[in-house]
């Protein structure tokens, strides 16, 4: 008999977590609490509640976390211009620390001693969920069924579901395996099927949020984004809550074919993995944020942020959101954003986000009287550049003279 009497399951109502729910009941003879997070995946969540009830679940949590997700996780990440391996905007990665946080909170509320998730033993998500959980509750017990059971294929899962009367909605065509998908307000990802062959082009009908650039409108659309302390706060002069703003950007980006990515990435567990991503709003936000920083950040501060970004991105990708080093980096990053105020004008056109203008009434470091190609009336003494260049060349001149003597 297991000493685990109650477990909180991260539950979507899909095939994997529906099987896990029944498996936990059978294997551990424990009470299961289900937790379903609404982080903007765009799916009806009430069916998950009904499925859980059919298996006798009494404590069912369905939480709207959209505002917290964007405000406290997505926006802080974008203040750092975070990109993993030069391309990936970390849509799946950034949702995991929030889910881990809520799992731990619910475990405390319900007196559960364990949590459970549906991440496989091959992926990054198991690491992200569990590092987050241990950081927030070092004594929590974790059940990861994919590391315990023998249901290691889609066919075995379907057979288990059929044997145990678990209803499964098949969202794929012609009986083939479905894509493994993850969606939230920042992105939607696709893995599996023929994407496991990195030489195969993604099917056009796979994409859910974006039209192809070829089918995007022939007319460009202009968009103004206002920034305050490094975060977008208004679109075209209309103030918006963070989750509403990102949803609007997703719609605009999707309309213009913006934000598609086909990537072979390096997973933290050691393997390479091919995935496709749609991040329309995030792609727009990244371009806009770099544009407003270009006139409001000191040069060395901007370059320091760029130096740190790759480390910061790896911390998020690998599951270290709650680590002291990420918190320390965030403190530095947030400090740099106090002056990142103003607006950016973008042109959206057939998969492209083009910066059309940027300005800041209060924090711009762009001085036209110095930068001008016209007469600057003595604002900048060009003779000063000669000494500047000679001093910076001194070490190279010494080395060149040494080579001549050799």
Across the chain, mean pLDDT equals: 95
Domains in the chain: ranges and CATH: 6-163 (3.40.50.620), 180-359 (3.90.1260.10), 378-405 (no CATH)
Annotated binding residue at 15? yes
pTM of the model: 0.95
Q: Is 180 annotated as a binding residue?
A: yes
CB atoms within 10 A of CB 37: 24
- Per the annotation, the verdict on 267 as an active-site residue is no
* Least confident among 163-177, 180-194, 301-315, 352-366: 163-177
2 is in an annotated binding site: no
pLDDT at residue 176, rounded to an integer = 52
Q: 114-116 and 31-38: which strand pairing? A: unpaired
The answer, yes or no, to whether residue 171 has pLDDT greater than 50, is no
Determine if residue 84 is labeled as part of a ligand binding site: no
Active site residue 345: no
Residue 274 has pLDDT above 60, yes or no: yes
Per the residue annotation, which of 177, 180, 273, 323 is the catalytic one? 180
| 182: annotated active-site residue | no
Q: Read off the pLDDT band of 167 (50, 70, 90).
A: confident
CA atoms within 13 A on the CB side of 170: 12
128 is in an annotated binding site: yes
150 catalytic residue (yes or no): no
251 known ligand binder: no
Say if residue 379's pLDDT is above 50: yes
Q: What pLDDT shows up at residue 177?
A: 58
**How sure is the predictor about 180, in pLDDT bands with cuts at 50, 70 and 90?**
confident
For residue 153, pLDDT beyond 50: yes
Residue 183 is labelled as binding a ligand: no
88 annotated ligand binder: yes
Flag whether pLDDT at 169 surpasses 70: no
116 with 142: CB under 8 angstroms? yes
HEC readout, the chain: CCCCCEEEEECCCCHHHHHHHHHHHHHHCCEEEEEEEECCCCCCCHHHHHHHHHCCCCCEEEEECHHHHHHHHHHHHHHCCCCECCCECCCCHHHHHHHHHHHHHHHHHHCCCEEECCCCCCCCHHHHHHHHHHHHCCCCEEECHHHCCCCCCHHHHHHHHHHCCCCCCCCCCCCCCCCEEEECCCCEEEECHHHHCCCCCCCHHHCCCCCCHHHCCCCCEEEEEEEECCEEEEECCEECCHHHHHHHHHHHHHHCCCCEEEEEEECCCCCEEEEEEECHHHHHHHHHHHHHHHHHCCHHHHHHHHHHHHHHHHHHHHCCCCCHHHHHHHHHHHHHHHHCCEEEEEEEECCEEEEEEEECCCCCCCCHHHHCCCCCCCCCCCCHHHHHHHHHHHHHHHHHHHHHHC
Answer yes or no: is 85 a known binding residue. no
Mean pLDDT score, 299-315? 98
Percent of the chain with pLDDT over 90: 89
* Predicted local distance difference test score (pLDDT) of residue 15: 87
Q: How do residues 321-352 score in pLDDT, each as one tens digit?
A: 999 999 999 999 999 999 999 999 999 999 99
Instruction: State CA 253 to chain mean position distance.
Output: 16
Nearest to 59 by CA among 122, 7, 119: 7
307-312 long-range Cβ contacts below 8 angstroms, 24+ apart: 308/80, 308/332, 308/333, 309/80, 309/81, 309/82, 309/83, 312/80, 312/82
Catalytic position from the list 16, 116, 182, 231: 16
Buried b (16+ CB within 10 A) or exposed e, 271-294: eebbbbbbbbbbbbbbbbbbbbbe
The mean pLDDT value for 400-405 works out to 93
Which position among 66, 96, 102, 274 bears the catalytic label? 96
Rg (CA), the chain: 25
**Average pLDDT rounded to a whole number, residues 270-297:** 98
227 is in an annotated binding site: no
**174 has a pLDDT exceeding 50:** no
**What's residue 208's pLDDT?**
96
- Averaged pLDDT, 275-291: 98
Q: List, for residues 201-213, the tens digit of each pLDDT value.
A: 999 999 999 999 9
- pLDDT tens-digit series, residues 68-84: 999 999 999 999 999 99
Q: Pick the catalytic residue from 125, 182, 339, 360.
A: 125
Strand 260-266 and strand 238-239: the pairing is unpaired
CA–CA separation, 95 and 69 (whole Å): 7
Q: Any known ligand binding at 234?
A: no
Confidence of residue 172 (pLDDT cuts 50, 70, 90): very low
**pLDDT of 168 higher than 80:** no
Question: How many other CB atoms sit within 10 Å of the CB of residue 319?
Answer: 23
350 contacts: CB under 8 Å, gap ≥ 6: 213, 214, 216, 217, 256, 257
Is residue 89 within 8 A of residue 187, CB to CB? The reply is yes
Asked if 176 and 193 count as a contact pair (C-beta separation under 8 A), the reply is yes
- Token pair for residue 170? 């098949």
């Amino acid at each position: 008999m297991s000493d685990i009497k109650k477990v909180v399951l991260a539950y979507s109502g899909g095939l994997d977590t529906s099987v896990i729910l029944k498996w936990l009941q059978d294997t551990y003879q424990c009470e299961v609490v289900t937790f379903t997070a609404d982080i903007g995946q765009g799916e009806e969540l009430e069916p998950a509640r009904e499925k859980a009830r059919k298996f006798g679940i009494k404590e069912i949590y369905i939480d709207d976390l959209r505002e917290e997700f964007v405000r406290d996780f997505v926006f802080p990440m974008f203040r750092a211009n975070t990109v993993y391996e030069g391309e990936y905007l970390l849509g799946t990665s950034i949702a995991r620390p929030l889910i881990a946080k809520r799992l731990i909170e619910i475990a405390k509320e319900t007196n559960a001693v364990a949590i459970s998730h549906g991440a496989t033993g091959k992926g990054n998500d198991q690491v992200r969920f569990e590092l987050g959980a241990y950081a927030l509750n070092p004594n929590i017990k974790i059940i990861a069924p994919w590391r315990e059971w023998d249901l290691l294929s889609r066919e075995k899962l379907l057979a288990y579901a059929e044997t145990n009367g678990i209803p499964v909605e098949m969202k794929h065509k012609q009986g083939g395996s479905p894509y493994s998908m993850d969606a939230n307000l920042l992105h939607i990802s696709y893995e599996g099927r023929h994407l496991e062959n990195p030489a195969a082009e993604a099917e056009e009908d796979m994409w859910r949020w974006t039209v192809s650039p070829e089918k995007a409108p022939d007319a460009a659309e202009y968009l103004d984004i206002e920034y305050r302390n490094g975060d977008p706060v208004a679109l075209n002069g209309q103030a918006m809550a963070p989750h509403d703003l990102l949803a609007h950007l997703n719609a605009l980006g999707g309309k213009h074919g913006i934000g598609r990515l086909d990537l072979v990435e390096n997973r933290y567990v050691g393997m390479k993995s091919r995935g496709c991503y749609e991040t329309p709003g995030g792609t727009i936000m990244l371009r806009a944020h770099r544009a407003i920083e270009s006139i409001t950040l000191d040069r060395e501060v901007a370059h320091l942020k760029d130096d740190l970004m790759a480390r910061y991105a790896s911390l998020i990708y690998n599951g270290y959101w709650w680590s002291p080093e990420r918190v320390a980096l965030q403190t530095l990053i947030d400090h740099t954003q106090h002056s990142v105020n103003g607006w950016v004008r973008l042109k959206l056109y057939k998969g492209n986000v083009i910066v059309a203008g940027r300005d800041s009434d209060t924090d711009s470091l762009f001085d036209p009287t110095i930068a001008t190609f016209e007469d600057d009336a003595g604002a900048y003494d060009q003779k000063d550049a000669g000494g500047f260049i000679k001093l910076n060349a001194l070490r190279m001149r010494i080395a060149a003279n040494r080579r001549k003597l050799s």
